[in-house]
Amino acid sequence: MKPAIDQLTAQFAADVRADLSSTPKQLQSKYLYDALGSSLFDAICRLPWYRITRAESALLARHADAIVTSIGKANGTIVELGCGSGEKLVLLAEALQARGASAHVHLIDISPQAIEHTEQRLTRLHLSVVGHQSTYEEGLRQAAAARRGDGRMLVLLLGSNIGNFDTPAAHAFLRRIRAAVSPGDFLLLGADLAKPELDLIDAYDDPLGVTAAFNKNLLVRINNELGGDFDLAAFDHVAVWNAADQRIEMHLVSRVAQRVRIPAAEMTVSFEAGERIWTESSYKYEPEQIVAMGASAGLASRNQWVDTDVGFALTLFAAV
Ligand SMILES: C[S@@+](CC[C@H](N)C(=O)[O-])C[C@H]1O[C@@H](n2cnc3c(N)ncnc32)[C@H](O)[C@@H]1O
């Protein structure tokens, strides 16, 4: 299910126009993920300093059986919001098959490459798979509307995707997930935990510069898709720990005073030297904050598995 390309580009142009006109200037993190952005994110997951992917995969591998048992043997549905490369979903799909069970799978991701790669990984497992190249909200709506029969649904929100929402938006998003499922369905939420600032800075401003490339690729994307003339050498990547709000922020900082034309967004944007574009927030949690956030959305924690070394929690919620 692919939306028309022109519609996506028009939305991208409208969002860039609004977000670069706001104070402070910003760009939405979902636009980090075009084909190159998804590949760069996959590379980040392999960096020694970005430990959460390996930690979450290990928790999933260890507890896959307990997780997939939740959806029973027949007519189950798995919906993954922001599937990325699909490596984690494969761990659960293998556990499902080992139990002799099957499920309908819905992949939701704004990046066409993410959907394509996850579909390829799932091919050998012979599951019925539908890809939705869309935002979480639209994909969730489509997946819920396509639901058939009386099987259980398991929604996956992994990789700390929840951390990209600010606190009110994260609560609202969990309520939206709860509204899309039925009592007795499940949400598996993977979330990064608060940890020492230096560990976070290494993870979001790695010594190899892969995260910097991932962040700057947003400007490449604006140049390629909207005809922009951003000079990449005139911006620096920075990662900042905001202790008061418990989040890491990624920004692009203009090295000099400059003007940038973005014809498809019908704008010329001026930057002062040192002015920032805020491109992503990654909120960090305490395990009990995750449980409380679910509870306030009508999701009861059934199990929480924590990697205390890396600082990562996988929480299985049941809709009540
Ligand atoms: C941080 S990556 C995590 C990928 C995967 N869940 C993992 O655990 O490795 C976020 C993924 O969500 C997708 N994504 C980000 N914002 C989105 C949005 N608003 N709607 C749909 N997909 C989104 C991105 O394209 C990307 O594949």
> 283 C-alpha vs ligand 1 centroid, how far in Å?
15
- Please determine, for residue 179, whether its predicted confidence score (pLDDT) is greater than 90: yes
- Please determine, for residue 1, whether its predicted confidence score (pLDDT) is greater than 70: no
> 192 C-alpha vs ligand 1 centroid, how far in Å?
15
pLDDT digits (tens, 9 = 90+) for 216-239: 999 999 999 999 999 999 999 999
> 44 C-alpha vs ligand 1 centroid, how far in Å?
13
- Counting from 1 in the atom list of ligand 1, the atom nearest the Cα of 164 is 16
* pLDDT at residue 204, as a whole number: 98
Q: Whose CA is nearest to atom 8 of ligand 1?
A: 159
- Please determine, for residue 72, whether its predicted confidence score (pLDDT) is greater than 90: no
Q: Whose CA is nearest to atom 17 of ligand 1?
A: 30
- Please determine, for residue 149, whether its predicted confidence score (pLDDT) is greater than 90: no
Tell me: do 234 and 188 sit in the same domain.
no
pLDDT digits (tens, 9 = 90+) for 79-114: 999 999 999 999 999 999 999 998 999 999 999 999
DSSP 8-state secondary structure symbol assigned to residue 149 = S
- Counting from 1 in the atom list of ligand 1, the atom nearest the Cα of 111 is 25
Tell me: do 105 and 159 sit in the same domain.
yes
Tell me: do 12 and 62 sit in the same domain.
no
Q: Which amino acid is at 248?
A: I
Tell me: do 179 and 154 sit in the same domain.
yes
Positive or negative: CA dihedral 72, 77, 78, 79: negative
Tell me: do 154 and 253 sit in the same domain.
no
- Counting from 1 in the atom list of ligand 1, the atom nearest the Cα of 135 is 20
Q: What is the CATH number of the domain that holds 136?
A: 3.40.50.150
Average pLDDT of the residues in 19-34: 98
pLDDT digits (tens, 9 = 90+) for 124-138: 898 999 999 999 999
* pLDDT at residue 269, as a whole number: 98
Q: Whose CA is nearest to atom 13 of ligand 1?
A: 82
> 164 C-alpha vs ligand 1 centroid, how far in Å?
10
What average pLDDT does the structure give for the chain? 96
Tell me: do 163 and 289 sit in the same domain.
yes
CB 277 within 8 A of CB 252: yes
Q: Whose CA is nearest to atom 15 of ligand 1?
A: 30
* pLDDT at residue 102, as a whole number: 87
Nearest 10 degrees: CA dihedral of 40, 88, 3, 137?
A: -110
Band (pLDDT 50/70/90 cuts) for residue 296 is very high
Band (pLDDT 50/70/90 cuts) for residue 75 is confident
pTM for the full predicted model = 0.97
The structural domain count of the chain equals 2
Q: Whose CA is nearest to atom 18 of ligand 1?
A: 135
Tell me: do 183 and 71 sit in the same domain.
yes
- Counting from 1 in the atom list of ligand 1, the atom nearest the Cα of 137 is 20
Domain with 201 in it: 5-31+197-283
If you write DSSP's letter for every residue of 99-115 in order, what string do you get? TT--EEEEEEES-HHHH
Tell me: do 25 and 70 sit in the same domain.
no
Listed range (2-6, 62-66, 240-244) with the worst mean pLDDT? 2-6
Q: Whose CA is nearest to atom 16 of ligand 1?
A: 30
- Report the alpha-carbon distance of residue 209 to residue 37 in Å, rounded: 14
pLDDT digits (tens, 9 = 90+) for 249-275: 999 999 999 999 999 999 999 999 999
Average pLDDT of the residues in 53-69: 97
Average pLDDT of the residues in 295-304: 98
* pLDDT at residue 114, as a whole number: 98
Kindly report the number of other CB atoms within 10 A of residue 173's CB atom.
Answer: 21
Band (pLDDT 50/70/90 cuts) for residue 5 is low
Ligand 1 pocket at CB < 6 A: 30, 33, 38, 41, 53, 82-84, 88, 109-111, 114, 135-136, 158-159, 161
Band (pLDDT 50/70/90 cuts) for residue 47 is very high
